[in-house]
Amino acid sequence: MPTKTQERLKSQARVLKALAHPTRLLLVEELARQTRCVCELRDAAGVDISTVSKHLSLLRNAGIVKDEKRGLKVFYSLKTPCVLNFFKCVESVQKCSK
């Protein structure tokens, strides 16, 4: 297999892996509704704030969310709404594969 293909597959897998966690999916859904700061997201997710922070930086590194500091708080939002298409994809696979 060409190195180029391997690199493509790895980079595609990286995006999928970033989303492949229940908490991170929840974060994406919350951010689809509106921009939120970390402590609001912690309340929504119900895990330690340091855990949320790590999930968010993972999503940021994957190019899925962006952040903006305003005073004490850091507000996160979706970098692009097209990430929401994944939810549709999942749904259709689950539906079709029954």
Partner DNA sequence: TCTATATGTGGCTAAAAGGCCAAATAGGCA
Partner DNA sequence: TGCCTATTTGGCCTTTTAGCCACATATAGA
Residues that bind a second copy (CB under 8 A): 1, 5-6, 9-13, 15-17, 19-26, 44-46, 63-64, 79-80, 82-83, 85-90, 92-94, 96-98
In 3D space, the residue among 35, 13, 24, 14 whose CA is nearest the CA of residue 87 turns out to be 24
Query: Other CB atoms closer than 10 Å to residue 64's CB: what's the count?
Result: 21
Contact 28, 59 (CB under 8 A): yes
Site for DNA in 33-92 (CB under 7 A): 37-39, 42, 47-51, 53-58, 67, 69, 71-75
Q: How many CB atoms lie within 10 A of CB 45?
A: 18
**Residue 59 contact, options a second copy, DNA, none, Cβ 5-8 Å cut-off depending on partner type:** none
Partner in contact with 35, chosen from DNA, a second copy, none, beta carbon below 5 to 8 Å by kind: none
Handedness of CA 41, 46, 50, 51 (dihedral sign): negative
Binding residues (CB under 7 A) for DNA: these are 17, 20-21, 23, 37-39, 42, 47-51, 53-58, 67, 69, 71-75
